[in-house]
């Protein structure tokens, strides 16, 4: 890729497609605690090379059999897992639907794999991987251990590691009433990621000039449906 080529997100992150993910859970242990909400926001590249948020997906998830649910966690996220009007689905169905959408986005963008963007990303990726293993889903489109952590990016770029503070410092809107909803936190995380990447774009373009050969995408095509 050179600076004269049309911008493609497939080249921006070495063939990886960033996808912002947020989970709401019944605790902090991915092996034992329930996954209750799952949301994802696709990240796209505009015609001028700027990153922007794309389609979003949200799933209410039924607690898996034998899972632990800490009342303190429910007090924070406001979820009633057993409410009769809650449109929840089994873990496997939610993951199958999300992974299908992510694989399509990866292929459409010419990328080879998705990479999770999260605020404290290891938490979200841990629950995602644990649920995929528990439901015996083999075709997880996300990189199994690498991620983009907006807590780290926010600390470096803005001096803030708390999502609400980083979002506000970046000049983006923050609605406290929406916090701890998986889709709201995923959308704000995606917007924060795009904002920081766009502001640091000059460093990326300098890197292309200095080491263009190192910008080649990973050669690991995603399996077809």
Provide Rg for the chain, Cα atoms: 18
Q: Residue 146: enclosing H or E segment and its boundaries? A: strand 142-149
- Alpha helix ranges (H) inside 78-144: 91-108, 121-134
Map tokens 């019944």 to a residue: 26
Instruction: Write down the catalytic residue from 65, 82, 119, 180.
Output: 180
> In the annotation, is 119 catalytic?
no
Percentages helix, strand, coil for the chain, rounded to the nearest 5? 40, 20, 35
Instruction: Find the helix or strand (DSSP H, E) in which 117 lies.
Output: strand 113-118
The span from the CA of 143 to the CA of 201, in Å, is 23
Closest CA to 43 of 6, 3, 9, 88: 9
Are 173 and 183 within 8 A, CB to CB? no
Q: Which helix (H) or strand (E) holds 196?
A: helix 182-199
Half-sphere exposure of 115 (CA within 13 A, CB side): 19
Report yes or no: 155 and 161 within 8 Å, Cβ to Cβ.
yes
Residues with catalytic function: 180
């Amino acid at each position: 890729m050179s600076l004269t080529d049309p911008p493609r997100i497939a080249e921006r992150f070495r063939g990886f497609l960033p996808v912002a993910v947020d989970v709401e859970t019944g605790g902090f242990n991915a092996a034992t605690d329930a996954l209750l909400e799952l949301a994802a926001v696709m990240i796209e590249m505009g015609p001028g090379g700027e990153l922007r948020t794309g389609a979003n997906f949200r799933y209410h998830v039924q607690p898996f059999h034998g899972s632990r649910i800490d009342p303190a966690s429910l007090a924070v996220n406001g979820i009633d897992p057993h409410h009769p009007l809650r449109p929840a689905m089994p873990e496997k169905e939610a993951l199958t639907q999300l992974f299908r959408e992510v694989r399509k986005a990866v292929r459409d963008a010419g990328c080879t794999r998705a990479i999770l963007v999260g605020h404290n990303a290891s938490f979200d990726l841990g629950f995602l991987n644990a649920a995929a293993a528990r439901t015996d889903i083999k075709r997880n489109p996300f990189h199994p251990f690498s991620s983009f952590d907006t807590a780290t990016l926010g600390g470096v770029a803005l001096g803030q590691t708390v999502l609400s503070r980083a979002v506000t410092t970046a000049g983006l809107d923050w609605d406290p009433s929406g916090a701890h909803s998986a889709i709201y936190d995923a959308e704000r995380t995606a917007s924060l990621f795009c904002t920081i990447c766009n502001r640091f774009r000059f460093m990326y373009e300098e890197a292309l000039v200095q080491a263009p050969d190192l910008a080649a995408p990973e050669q690991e095509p995603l399996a077809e449906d």
